[in-house]
Amino acid sequence: MPSPRPPAPRAPPPSPSRASLRGLDWFVFFVADVQTGFGPFVAVYLTTQKWTQVDIGLILSAGGLVALAGQIPGGALVDLARSERLVAGLAIATIGISALAYAAWPVFPVVLAAAVLHAAASCVLGPAMAAIGLGLVGHAAIGERLGRNARFASIGNGLAAAAPASLATCCASVRS
């Protein structure tokens, strides 16, 4: 009977630079609202464009279904990618293009395509941010890193929601 192999030597845990960690923090902070706060703004915008509630609901539902169905394929795509940063950048660019499409051509086929693109890009962006974090800190510290990502995303969402509300309150008090 052959003797068992000795265990493979473990690689030392990664030691990312402070700048890299802060860069991911700020990336997550600024991306949070772009990724998750889109729906309410789209609904309000399309209402101002004289869309019916049925059409708005159809657009938002289509985006929601794509987001639901795209979670596993989106994660698999990130796993197959050679560069998670490139995937994240392409997802941000896709979300930007979809936002531009909403504003430039608020007609049903374009808005539907924009909603689908936005949802598909969001399915890739979350796993890409997690993969970037894993590459920075390694398996031993990924739990803390994901918690930090969630914290910065929550702060980004909160401030992005508070800013328009504060601006509206200021504008309303100036008019009075």
Non-local CB neighbours of 107 within 8 Å, separated by 6+ positions: none
Element spanning 155, H or E: helix 142-175
Task: Report the distance separating Cα 139 and Cα 132, nearest Å.
Answer: 12
The torsion defined by the Cα of 120, 41, 93 and 25, in degrees rounded to 10, comes to -90
pLDDT at res. 16: 85
What is the number of other CB atoms lying within 10 angstroms of the CB of residue 163? 11
Cβ(78)–Cβ(133) below 8 Å = no
DSSP string, 46-77: HHHTT--HHHHHHHHHHHHHHHHHTHHHHHHH
Q: What pLDDT sits at residue 166?
A: 73
Which pLDDT score, from 0 to 100, does residue 1 have?
A: 60
Q: What is the mean pLDDT of each run of 10 residues along the chain (176 residues)?
A: 69 81 94 76 89 94 94 95 95 94 93 95 94 94 94 89 72 66
Q: What is the pLDDT of residue 39?
A: 77
* Residue environment code for 100-125, b if the CB has 16+ CB neighbours within 10 A, otherwise e: ebbeeebeeeebeebbbbbbbbbbbb
Q: What pLDDT sits at residue 14? A: 72
Residue 149 and residue 125 in contact, taking contact as beta carbons nearer than 8 Å: no
pLDDT (0 to 100) of residue 38? 77
Per-residue model confidence (pLDDT) at position 101: 94
What b-and-e string marks burial along 38-57, b requiring 16 or more CB atoms within 10 Å of the CB? bbeebeebbeeeebeeeebe
**How many angstroms separate the Cα of 144 from the Cα of each of 40, 66, 147?**
30, 30, 5
pLDDT at 118: 94
